[in-house]
Amino acid sequence: MKTKDKMIVKPSFNDIKNDIHIIFDEDNDEFWSANDLESFVPSKRVDHFLANADIKEYREIIERFIIPGKSGIITKRGKGGGTYFHRLIALRFAAWLSKEFEVQIYLAYDQGRKHHSEWTKERALTKYEYRLMTDAIQNNLIVGKETYPYAREAMLINLIVFGAERFDSNPRENATIEQLNSIKTLERYNATFIEMEMGHEERKTRLMSIHKKNNLKLIGE
């Protein structure tokens, strides 16, 4: 299954604080990690839940009327792999694990949706600022003897915000809202500096200074 998006819910139950990973398919249907849910009540098992006759019937109804043509249970391989339940089956599983846990899941889910909405908005804004920065690069490709490839500028921002230039995957997809806000701000400043024909090292120094001052404001210093 191709995933369109992802989200994390952070409930607390039985003094256990684990993340519940949620992925979205191309139709925007949610699938929750059954393994993450199970971790909160280790005395109960996923396979016992699925063996229940009522649950089998419930799954068939979901697959017939809610997600026709798709399975309500999927297996994902590789990083973040495991068994994933369609949201309605996942919530039924949470109730089967514990009624109190079900309530905690609803509360954590509401908070997770709000956070995800804010994160998505900030991520879109960073992409918008990146386009403005690439426009500045395109219009100022050569300043003296220096050239400005797009990747170099993205790596400069990554270095300042994340402390490194290269990653196995795009670090911005796992960034916090605060980090996305920093990226957005630095991309805006960098676009201006490039248009001013400022050299790479001077831009780097100024951007690092801006990032440091913004971080100090966040922690109230």
| Domain stop point among 97, 127, 150 | 97
In a domain, 36, yes or no: yes
8 A C-beta contact, residue 132 and residue 188: yes
Shared domain check, 118 and 59: no
pLDDT value at residue 180: 95
**If pLDDT is split at 50, 70 and 90, which confidence band does 139 have?**
confident
Domain count, the chain: 2
Question: CA–CA separation, 21 vs 109, rounded Å?
Answer: 11
Is the per-residue pLDDT at 91 higher than 90? yes
Give CA–CA dist 139/192, Å, rounded: 12
In this structure, what CATH number is given to the domain that contains residue 92? 3.10.260
One domain for residues 71 and 141:
no
Q: Give the pLDDT of residue 170.
A: 84
Better-predicted residue by pLDDT, 36 or 77: 36
Q: Which residue stretches of 39-77 are H helix? A: 46-51, 53-61
Given a cut of 60, is residue 189 above it in pLDDT? yes
Regarding whether 71 and 28 lie in a shared domain, the answer is: yes
| Per-residue pLDDT at 163 exceeds 80 | yes
The pLDDT mean for the chain works out to 90
pTM over the 0.85 mark: no
Q: Using the 3D structure, point to which of 41, 63, 97 is the last residue of a domain.
A: 97
Same domain (yes/no): 87, 118: no
Domain match, 202 and 122 both: yes
Q: Do 122 and 86 sit in the same domain of this protein? A: no
CA angle 107, 111, 113 (to 5 degrees): 115
**Residue 140: which residues within 8 A CB-CB, separation 6 or more?**
148, 194, 195, 197
Residue 34 maps to a domain: yes
Q: Could you tell me if 87 and 151 lie in one domain? A: no
Share of residues in the chain with pLDDT > 70 (%) = 91
Which domain does 26 fall in, by range?
3-97
Q: What is the pLDDT of residue 174?
A: 87
Is 131 contained in some domain?
yes
Write out pLDDT tens, residues 6-46. 999 999 998 999 999 999 999 999 999 999 999 999 999 99
Same-domain check for residues 49 and 10? yes
Q: Which among 4-13, 45-54, 208-217 has the top mean pLDDT?
A: 45-54
Domain boundary among 51, 67, 97: 97
Say if 86 falls within a structural domain: yes
d(CA 23, CA 29): 8
- Are residue 128 and residue 213 in the same domain, yes or no? yes
Higher pLDDT, 80 or 139: 139
> What was the pLDDT predicted at 104?
95
Helix (H, G, I), strand (E, B) or coil at 26: coil
Model confidence at 142, pLDDT cuts 50, 70, 90, reads low
pLDDT of 221 reads: 44
**Distance in angstroms (rounded) separating the CA atoms of residues 151 and 180:** 18
Judged against a pLDDT cut of 90, whether residue 73 lies above it is answered with yes
| Residue indicated by tokens 């399975």 | 71
Paired sense of beta strands 20-25 and 30-33, if any: antiparallel
Q: Residue 176: left (phi > 0), alpha (psi -120 to 50), or beta?
A: beta
Q: Is the pLDDT score of 220 beyond 70?
A: no
Q: Give percent of the chain with pLDDT exceeding 90.
A: 73
Same domain? For 130 and 93 the reply is: no
In a domain, 107, yes or no: no
The pLDDT value given to residue 144: 53
CB neighbour burial string for 132-160, b if at least 16 within 10 angstroms, e if fewer: ebbebbeebeeeeeeebeeeebbebbbeb
Residues 122 and 187 in one domain: yes
For residue 55, give both structure tokens.
């649950």
> Is 192 in the same domain as 126?
yes
